[in-house]
Amino acid sequence: MMNPVLQAKGLDLWYGDHQALHSISLDIFEKTVVALIGPSGCGKSTFLKTLNRMNDLVDSVRVEGDVLYESHDIFDPILDVNDLRKEIGMVFQKPNPFPMSIYDNIAYGPRIHGIKNKRVLDQIVEQALKDAALWDEVHDRLKKSALSLSGGQQQRLCIARALAIQPKVLLMDEPTSALDPISTAKIEELIDQLKTKYTIVIVTHNMQQAMRIADQTAFFLMGELIEFNDTQELFLRPQDPRTSDYVNGRFG
């Protein structure tokens, strides 16, 4: 079997004195969609944000254990965290385009990483927007502000922005929770297409969504990984009674 792209091994995480993650071990393989589910405060978002070290921005955070990205320790002090984030892109819960034009939003990442050539940038922008299924809707108004787009379009723009730096992994933190059902369906369809090229880890509070889009699902509860299995298995034949209670809606 091939090596996992991302591998957590005995990961503990504290916010100050509060331990938010307890010894999480989880392997994520290339070009799969992994959903992280569980009730609010269960640690699924915290775990997601550890994978590209966005938790570094929190002052009091402390981590023990390992996370390997392509067999490299992501907490290794000689690793450039900005390079890591270039490989592992992220889409947030609330669409957060920059207050700039659509074009500049997409070109932001490539420019940061040193691409200045206008022709190359044009190509990257077009490709990223096509990959995010947004090109047809915006190709004639690339110079317009990104804030003029609808919420669903803004979120696809954020996906396109993340794709423009050609990451290998895409982390999504409840990307549809602020969107209407039609926009949600579009994003889910998009995730299905993206998995041919990218590895996707998605946090969702919506179990139907996990069932629709995820190859594998991990159930978190109070900072522990309770169960991790193929999505069908986890929902239809949960091994742990707590998983069974949660997926059957007995708490949440």
Partner 1 sequence: MKTIKNKTIEQIASWIFFAIGMITILCVLVITLYLISSGLPAIQKIGLKEFLFSSTWNSTGSDPKFGILPFILTSLYGTLGALLLAVPVGIGCAIYLSKFAPPALKRCLLMGIQVLAGIPSVVFGLVGMVVLVPWIRSMFHLSDGACLLSAMIVLAIMILPSVVNVSLNALDAVPSEYEEASIALGATKLETVRKVSFPAARSGILASIILGTGRAIGEAMAVIMVSGNVANMPNMFQSVRFLTTAISSEMSYASGLQKEALFSIALVLFVFILLTNTILSKLMKEVQSNDSH
**Complex with partner 1: residue 91 or 225, whichever CB lies closer:** 91
C-beta closer to partner 1: residue 29 or 108: 108
Binding residue for partner 1, selected from 4, 38, 43, 89, defined by CB under 8 A: 89
Query: Which two three-digit tokens encode residue 98?
Result: 């920059």
Annotate each residue in 139-158 with x if it binds partner 1 (CB under 8 A) or - if it does not, as one string: -----xx-xx---------x
CA dihedral of residues 4, 88, 31, 97 (deg, nearest 10)? 160
Beta bridge partners of 15: 18, 61
Restricting to residues 188-227, name those near partner 1 by CB under 8 A. Answer: none
Q: Which of residues 94-133 bind partner 1 (CB under 8 A)?
A: 94, 96-100, 108-109, 112-113
Rounded Cα distance between 44 and 225, Å, is 9
CB 36 to partner 1: min, Å: 17
Decide whether 113 or 197 has the Cβ nearer to partner 1. Answer: 113
29 phi, psi to nearest 5 deg: -100, 160
Alpha carbon distance 122, 207 (integer Å): 38
- Give the separation between CA 146 and CA 104, rounded to whole angstroms: 9
Query: Does 86 interact with partner 1 (rule: CB under 8 A)?
Result: yes
Size of the site for partner 1 (CB under 8 A): 29
Q: Can you name the residues that pair with 13 across neighbouring β-strands? A: 21, 63
Strand partners, 88: 169
From the CA atom positions of the chain, what is the Rg in Å? 18
Site string for partner 1, 23-62 (x = CB under 8 A): -----------------------------x-x--x-----
Pick between residue 100 and residue 185 the one whose CB is nearest to partner 1. 100
Measured from the CB atom, is 44 or 227 closer to partner 1? 44
Q: How far is the CB of 250 from partner 1 (least distance, A)?
A: 35
173 Rama sector, left if φ>0, alpha if ψ -120 to 50, beta otherwise: beta
Q: How far is the CB of 2 from partner 1 (least distance, A)?
A: 26
Per-position DSSP letters for 196-208, written without gaps between them: TT-EEEEE-S-HH
Token reading at 149: 């787009």
For partner 1, the binding residues (CB under 8 A) are 52, 54, 57, 82-86, 89-90, 92, 94, 96-100, 108-109, 112-113, 144-145, 147-148, 158, 161-162, 165
